[in-house]
Amino acid sequence: MYDIVVQLSIVLLAALVGGVITYRLCQPLVVGYLITGVILGNVLPKDIVQSEFISFFGELGIAFLLFSLGLEFSIKKISNIGKTAVLGAILQILICILVGFFVFPFLIHNNRVESVFVAILVAFSSTAVVAKILAERGALDSLHGEILIGWLIIQDLAVLPITALIPIFSGGSMLPKDVFITILKPLAILYLVLFIGRKVIPKIFIKLALLHNRELLVLSSFVFCIVFAFFASKLGLSFALGAFLAGIALSSSGINSEVFSEIKSIRDVFGAVFFVSLGFLVSAPFLGSHIINILFLSLIILLIKFIIVFVLVLYLGYHSKVAFLVGVGLVQIGEFSFILAKIGLDKNIISNNTFQFVLSSAVITIIATPFLFNKAEDIYEKIRKVAKKKWPKIYESIFVNFDESIVYSPKDELKDYEDHTVLVGYGRVGMSVAHILDKANVKYVVVDLNYGSLKYLRNRGVPNVFGDAEDELVLKLAKLDKAKVLIIAKPGREENEHILRTARGLNPNIKIVIRVHSEEEAAHFVIEGVKFVTEPEFTASIDIADKALSSIGFSKEDRESLLDRIKSEHRY
């Protein structure tokens, strides 16, 4: 018992130290967990590093991490960017496998079977890491954020048939009929899970929720996750994948948000243990002796995945900037890859050397992702400027043929436009703003990168410009130089900073209203000189409080007086 307490204490302390350091460096905590895990894994005694207890807690960690991701699963999110998510993710996995078949034998010096298996591992990206980065940037509702999450969910679901086909890689022979049944089995399980999630699970958890006892709800969520994962493992799926399906089963219930909020703290603790224990698996001697090869392999993986995703998103009809951000977001190797790699090692599909190559590269790509993503905007702009000067043919083929050729602007409708409003972003907030502007008979032009959303406006005859609002050309097409007001209704602090600078360059006197994600972001834009800053969450809280006070019996005058005082106290 004493040994177990010592082992767990060391892992949690390592996670805390690594997390504090990376938080101070404004990086995702997972980076700190991994780095401290790698360091401690090579200095601590083997009885701690290779402890079955730590391994067990690590498995629970990834199980709860994926359970929480399953809880946030939304078919609606996929349907919003349906073709891009489904077609893009499937094509990306297949192309990665094809490229890996030819490339990895030369990079890792393994056989073709191993190469295909490694290519499958490389094809998957990390839903946990990307979702965390997007959440921290307030970009979950952005166009590239929606594409990333939808794409990642399809990738996660693709693990089901791939897991079922593992016997083929381990040397088993299967007839085409058996292959079909093997792939059909996990898909049938998925359908059963979603059916149970809609018909059975909600009734059970709603009854538990009606007891108004937090402890019972947390306990029932914990038990459901573990039991569901256990039975999934008995059906031939991995324990972690079973936990993900358990989350999906609950996602269609009406209380998934409540369950998520209750298990979030448990998930974070177990998740920290998982990522630290993952770092334990990286061998320092192997890393030291193969560091050049590992770094080269990691670089090749980053480039291959980026190029494949970038080209696919471009051909699916999106702006090069959206394609660039999505490509950067998917360059890392994901958590399901760790699970599949461990299965591959246990079943002798891959050697220990190959396992170490994949594991080391996975850790490096995960650590690199937040750094790359935080600089993605600047990198994109620099590449575009350099390409325009030094590689005009490349610039023309990408930034002209794929961007300017698909920029849409109703020139005749905007010919005499002046003193109008330019609305950047036609998401949930933008749609509501546009509706109010319609009712007020205010002339406005919508600028957005989501071509599908703008089709609706075109059918209604509403002037709109398809393109990146950070691009001066696009804002010129929207007649921003003659506009009176600019409303930035899209999320994303760095993107909005670029739009703000470009807009002021075109029209120094324009009045700007900007949507922010947090009070900190609001303060930043106020310092930048923006007079009208709005925080949707605060506005929603005022509206909710107003309705609640009205229900309690407060008069209209008392409510207005109180809420006006609250608004004046709110700094922004």
What would the pLDDT profile of 172-214 be if each residue is shown by its tens digit? Answer: 555 566 666 666 766 677 677 666 656 777 677 767 766 666 6
Q: Looking at the structure, do residues 366 and 430 belong to the same domain, yes or no?
A: no
Q: Looking at the structure, do residues 456 and 356 belong to the same domain, yes or no?
A: no
- DSSP state, residue 480: G
Query: Could you say which of 346, 374, 402 is where a domain stops?
Result: 374
Query: Could you say which of 355, 374, 393 is where a domain stops?
Result: 374
Query: Tokens 């490349």 map to which residue?
Result: 394
Q: What's 351's domain CATH number?
A: 1.20.1530.20
Q: Is residue 117 part of a domain?
A: yes
Q: Is residue 379 part of a domain?
A: no
The first and second tokens of residue 198, run together, are: 């809609």
The first and second tokens of residue 426, run together, are: 């036609």
Q: Is residue 131 part of a domain?
A: yes
Q: Is residue 398 part of a domain?
A: no
Quote the percentage of the chain above a pLDDT of 90: 6
Do the beta carbons of residue 287 and residue 294 sit within 8 Å?
A: yes
Of the pLDDT bands very low, low, confident and very high (cuts 50, 70, 90), residue 2 is low
- pLDDT for 431 equals 85
Q: Looking at the structure, do residues 279 and 152 belong to the same domain, yes or no?
A: yes
- DSSP state, residue 254: T
pLDDT tens figures, 258-307: 666 666 677 777 778 888 887 887 888 888 888 898 899 899 999 999 99
- pLDDT for 405 equals 47
Q: Is residue 58 part of a domain?
A: yes
Give the mean pLDDT of 332-353: 83
Task: Return all residues near 241 (Cβ < 8 A) that are at least 6 apart.
Answer: 66, 159, 160, 163, 232, 336, 339
Q: Looking at the structure, do residues 347 and 460 belong to the same domain, yes or no?
A: no
- Does 45 have pLDDT greater than 50? yes
Strands 464-466 and 485-488: unpaired
Domain of residue 210 covers 2-374
Task: List the beta bridge partners of residue 424.
Answer: 447, 488
Q: Is residue 396 part of a domain?
A: no
Q: Looking at the structure, do residues 370 and 420 belong to the same domain, yes or no?
A: no
What is the C-alpha to C-alpha distance for residues 186 and 159, in angstroms, rounded to an integer? Answer: 9
Q: What's 430's domain CATH number?
A: 3.40.50.720
Q: Is residue 392 part of a domain?
A: no
Measured over all CA atoms, what is the biggest interatomic distance in the chain, rounded to whole angstroms? 79
Residue 125, SS3? coil
- Does 80 have pLDDT greater than 70? no
Task: Return all residues near 259 (Cβ < 8 A) that are at least 6 apart.
Answer: 71, 205, 217, 221, 250
Query: Could you say which of 325, 345, 374 is where a domain stops?
Result: 374
Do the beta carbons of residue 276 and residue 14 sit within 8 Å?
A: yes
pLDDT tens figures, 526-570: 777 777 877 777 777 777 887 787 888 888 787 778 877 777 766
Residue 408, SS3? strand
Give the mean pLDDT of 42-46: 74
- Does 26 have pLDDT greater than 80? no
Q: Is residue 162 part of a domain?
A: yes
- Does 254 have pLDDT greater than 50? yes
Of the pLDDT bands very low, low, confident and very high (cuts 50, 70, 90), residue 1 is low
Give the mean pLDDT of 491-501: 79
What is the C-alpha to C-alpha distance for residues 156 and 70, in angstroms, rounded to an integer? Answer: 10
- pLDDT for 304 equals 92
Strands 464-466 and 444-448: parallel
Q: Looking at the structure, do residues 359 and 428 belong to the same domain, yes or no?
A: no
The pTM for the full model equals 0.72
- Look over the chain and give the mean of its residue pLDDT values, rounded to a whole number: 78
Q: Looking at the structure, do residues 423 and 344 belong to the same domain, yes or no?
A: no
Of the pLDDT bands very low, low, confident and very high (cuts 50, 70, 90), residue 237 is low
Query: Tokens 């979603």 map to which residue?
Result: 194
Q: Looking at the structure, do residues 415 and 328 belong to the same domain, yes or no?
A: no
- Does 29 have pLDDT greater than 90? no
What is the C-alpha to C-alpha distance for residues 272 and 13, in angstroms, rounded to an integer? Answer: 10
Number of domains the chain is built from:
2
Q: Looking at the structure, do residues 165 and 235 belong to the same domain, yes or no?
A: yes
Residue 379, SS3? helix
Q: Looking at the structure, do residues 364 and 439 belong to the same domain, yes or no?
A: no
What is the C-alpha to C-alpha distance for residues 118 and 337, in angstroms, rounded to an integer? Answer: 9
Q: Looking at the structure, do residues 190 and 64 belong to the same domain, yes or no?
A: yes
Q: Looking at the structure, do residues 101 and 242 belong to the same domain, yes or no?
A: yes
pLDDT tens figures, 110-155: 777 788 888 899 999 988 788 777 877 767 667 788 888 888 878 8
